[in-house]
Structure 1
Amino acid sequence: MAMRAEKQKTLKDSVTLNGIGVHSGGPASMTLHPADANTGIVFQRSDATGSTETPARWDVVSATALCTVVGDPKTGGVATIEHLMAALFGMGVDNAIVEIDGAETPIMDGSSEAFVEAIEATGLCEQKAARRYIKIKETVRVDQGDQWCQLSPADRPCFDITIDFENSVIGRQQLVFDLTPETFRDELSRARTFGSVKDVEKLWQMGFAMGSSLENSVALDGERVLNPEGTRWPDEFVRHKSLDAVGDLALAGLPILGEYRSYKGGHRMNHCVLVELFKNPEAFEIVEAGESARVGEKGHAELLGGLQAAAFGPDVS
């Protein structure tokens, strides 16, 4: 399929969101700014000293156990970026500066809805540069126990996400979709993070999830949903895992032309497949919208930075 001659996009204007950090429990303010073509998504800490800019890129991911973290939050990095990254890439934002006053993005209601609303409120503008993509040429796969994920060739960004929980409220759920701004906004963006009360209580004891509440997550107590309003869809759980996958794969740095499939995936597995992809230069190429020619040589330095270990511990949605 020939790609349209799409242009890169950025925000028309700056927009600010205020909330709390789900792990710190403290106030968090974030402003999304327009950025020049080929900038990508860059986090800029307004409270940190020294180097405050951290690219939203797979090779600077430092943790995936409780959320996705880029850089060192103690010295300018940022945690819990996945819902924002999902909104930016899901809505077609190629370039933006994310100015933030602390180490964690605001959790809002536990989904990407507020970020999507902010992006739509300010609007997008086309830039002169053509959009570039990572085109998957060969399947890459990661297996860890009964969990697995893979990227395979396809002519569009598409996903096939399956989760399987012993809890009967969740059970086995599958979601298959092509990623478009309309699909992301209507089918994924409102899906909230979720977890069991027992797990959250353990995290509280360790000093994490201090801002977690029924206002920003779906809480399960055994086989019961504690939120008075219930779930937004019967399969909200797999929709949120799909939202996370979109956000984590956005750390490839460019949109991916390919199919992502996962079984029992999460932040760690989503990152593992990017590490595996960029270890195999023959498995992908960089293409420009409207053209089939490759941009750059094998081992393109912009995307093939220093590899980091991907085993960071268990996933928590």
Structure 2
Amino acid sequence: MAEEEVNLSVAELRDIATRACLACGASAATARSLVDATLSAACHGRPEVGFPHLVDYLMSMVEGRIDAKAWPRIEHPLPAFIHSDARGGIAQLGFDLAYEDLVKRAQTFGIALFSQRNSYTAGELGYYVRRLAADGLVSMAVANAHALMAAAVGGKPVFGTNPLAFGAPLPAPRAPLVIDQAASATAFVNIIRAAADNVAIPEGWATDQTGAVTTDPAKAVLGALLPFGGYKGANIALLVEVLSAGLSGAAWSLDAGDFRSGDRSPNVGLTVIAIDPVATDPSFAVRGADHFRRLEDLGVHVPGRSSVYGADDADVIRIDARLLDDIMTFIPS
């Protein structure tokens, strides 16, 4: 049976999500950062890690995996290096607080880096590069999480899904180029959704507790995700972990806390590298747009949900009614 969906404006969903965050003990700053990132995923990026993932954040605030009132400590160990300790809070708040400084340093030095430890999971990774692309910067973002993925069939979980995102500006009103993908064959939220709906998953996504490949999502939840492309995907996961947990001082995926259970911060890492392309090519965005049109004419899929970027409070978002009910349960009646 098809899921029942309801249409709500961005303004309505912003209000509901904000009230839910505040009801779970979030500070105004934490609520604003988390809701902005959630709406960005729903409107412009990957909806499956937008409002569905918001429920994980809300539950984690209630159960202690997120310090909902944490205020990041931001330092500058080098002129082009910004380092944040999220202090057990959400990843988005530290990035938001450092954002203007990151852009300014990238424009000044040609490249700048933001790295953060001791946070909850980074959410939709495209959010970080999408914002920087809107300000004319090329960027890459990487993040690790607790061990969910084996390096190969039969192995134990050693990496998170360890996503990597890349963004590049294009002339307005065209949406920026945003590539956002996990090192795993699929995102963990897709396994959870399939288990809830009792729907089989494709072969090659995951293994069961014995290390055997499975199409049963309930067994996959107790087993391990698999990397895309075999050892090549596992190599990407290792690269991501070195850049995110290694540079930031966060926990390696083997040591990180579970983002869905327990009462402590996962202490995972996020690193964002921003580059100013106009340093060598003032026409970078226009030249890129021309090239991407050629690629599209040749049948290449260039990532991006729409040709026009930007949403206002008149826009409507379709949301699963059950998901909306789950979010509403956090708001006192």
| TM-score, normalised by the number of residues in structure 2 | 0.27
Higher helix share: 2
Q: Which structure is larger by alpha-carbon Rg, 1 or 2?
A: 2
Higher strand share: 1
| TM-score, normalised by the number of residues in structure 1 | 0.28
